[in-house]
Amino acid sequence: MPRCETCGNEYSRSITVTVDGEAHEFDSFECAIHALAPTCRHCGIRIVGHGVESGAHIYCCASCAREAGAKGLVDHI
């Protein structure tokens, strides 16, 4: 039975997520998000939506990007 790589739970209805050709096994989307979603450089929250990028950095929103010193980023209104 597949084992979740985040929590270790064995679950017959697991999900496989492939990133850059590497397969990852999880028992839930929650575990997949915890393992694979990027974190906001400013507040540390997991970015599940689009986020915004400035250079090599990713933020959950334009507000966090501005707080971190990024210029010219706006959220969609």
25 and 10 co-located in one domain: yes
Considering the entire predicted model, what is its pTM? 0.79
Does one domain contain both 32 and 64? no
Specify the number of domains making up the chain. 2
23 and 42, same domain (yes or no): no
Does one domain contain both 30 and 42?
Answer: no
- The pLDDT score that the predictor gives to residue 77 is 64
pLDDT in tens, 6-16: 999 999 999 99
Same domain, 76 and 45: yes
Q: Could you report the per-residue pLDDT of 10-60, keeping only the tens digit for each?
A: 999 999 999 999 999 999 999 999 999 999 999 999 999 889 999 999 999
Tell whether 32 and 10 lie within a shared domain: yes
Same domain, 13 and 32: yes
46 DSSP β-pair partners: 39
Domain span holding position 11: 1-36
